[in-house]
Structure 1
Amino acid sequence: MSGVALVYDGREHGRGGRRRSCIGRAASSRGALLRHAQRAGAVRNDVELPEVYALLIATLAIVFDGLAPLRNFQRAP
């Protein structure tokens, strides 16, 4: 449902109410997922969502950098 939120421009449901609702539910779900991981011992109890987002963004940046084509790459003859 959170992917759908990016499509709505607010006109259909009045001033973006549905979009805000979907975004709020997605944020709530991520918080619940973090709490569940903390209870399971997979994540420390002092970690909060901003730290998780920072780690996720840094990890994705590393992955996408590794997938990027090499600059000035020349194939051997």
Structure 2
Amino acid sequence: LQRSFLVAGADMLIMSLFKVSDDATQKLMTKFYQKWLATGDKRKAFVEAQKEIKAEYKYPLYWGAFNMMGID
């Protein structure tokens, strides 16, 4: 599926490797977009958002499923 998005022109994707809590996902994505808008740096925003979620949800089940791939 990721390849289809990249071939269609997406430069980056954030995807989960397995089913994740809707609450944790919503928090991660909200933090990511806030940080991205503030800094303009997608990768840094994603890493920082994951760190914040990791502090709130200790188990990787909530934050470890997500990865970002693509070209900046």
**Normalized against structure 1, the TM-score is what?**
0.28
Higher strand share goes to which structure?
2
Larger of the two Rg values belongs to structure: 1
**Normalized against structure 2, the TM-score is what?**
0.29
Greater RCO structure (CA 8 Å; 6+ sep):
2
